[in-house]
Amino acid sequence: MRVEDLPLAGVKLLYPERHGDERGFFSETYRRRELLRHGIDVEFLQDNHSSTPRVGTVRGLHFQIPPLAQAKLVRVPRGAILDVVVDLRRRSPTFGRHVAVRLSAAEWNQLYVPVGLAHGFCTLEEDTEVLYKVSADYSREHERGLLWNDPALGIRWPVEPAAALVSARDAAFPGIAALPTYFELAAAAGAGGSEP
């Protein structure tokens, strides 16, 4: 597995190997020992699967707060997305900054998102499916969000806001200036993150 460090501390782009022949392909998409070798020391507890038929659908930006904050390992077995993460860790030198990467079935890549970042995506192809592992169980009480198109974030989404399909809940999330402090860099590093 090839792994690249991205500009936000602890965020990594992973490329699992895919072995093909006339029957199709085989790929080992997750092995804990391999992730440990690349500095990802997280126990994943739950798998989630979303299916989105329409291009230009935005889901996010989502996160859970402590004590049920989640690290995520995201991949796309069908279709393609622009996957976006925003650093919410106060005292981080990259607080409020984001990374956006294309994840797709064709590229067969994955994104590791440590605790302390908001996560969301926009579909780039019809009938896109997203699978992601999380390090804590889902909790409605601990679920929070960040406004996906907050101008302060400077995210270049591949869809205009008026054309995006966004849930009413996601459209009502606060911008980053109104977000309480949920994560400190040191606290995030000890709770499923791989920050220094």
pLDDT in tens, 66-110: 999 999 999 999 999 999 999 999 999 999 999 999 999 999 999
pTM: 0.90
Active-site residue, from 62, 98, 112, 119: 62
**What is the topology classification, in CATH, of domain 2-189?**
Jelly Rolls (2.60.120)
**Domain spans, the chain:** 2-189
Give yes or no: 62 in active site.
yes
How far is residue 78 CA from its own chain's centroid? Answer: 16
Query: Residue 195 has what pLDDT?
Result: 40
Rounded to whole angstroms, the Cα distance separating 13 from 125 reads 20
Query: Residue 63 has what pLDDT?
Result: 98
Q: 191 in helix, strand or coil?
A: coil
- Residue 142 is given by DSSP the state G
Alpha helices by DSSP H, listed for the chain, are 32-37, 168-171, 185-189
Active-site residue, from 98, 112, 132, 182: 132
Supply the Cα-derived Rg of the chain in whole angstroms.
16
Query: Residue 23 has what pLDDT?
Result: 87
Q: What tens digit of pLDDT does each residue of 42-63 get?
A: 999 999 999 999 999 999 999 9
- Is 187 a residue whose pLDDT tops 80? no
Q: How many other CB atoms are there within 10 angstroms of residue 167's CB atom?
A: 12
- Residue 174 is given by DSSP the state P
Q: Which residue do the tokens 């054309």 mark?
A: 163
Beta-bridge partner residues of 183:
89
Give yes or no: 182 in active site.
no
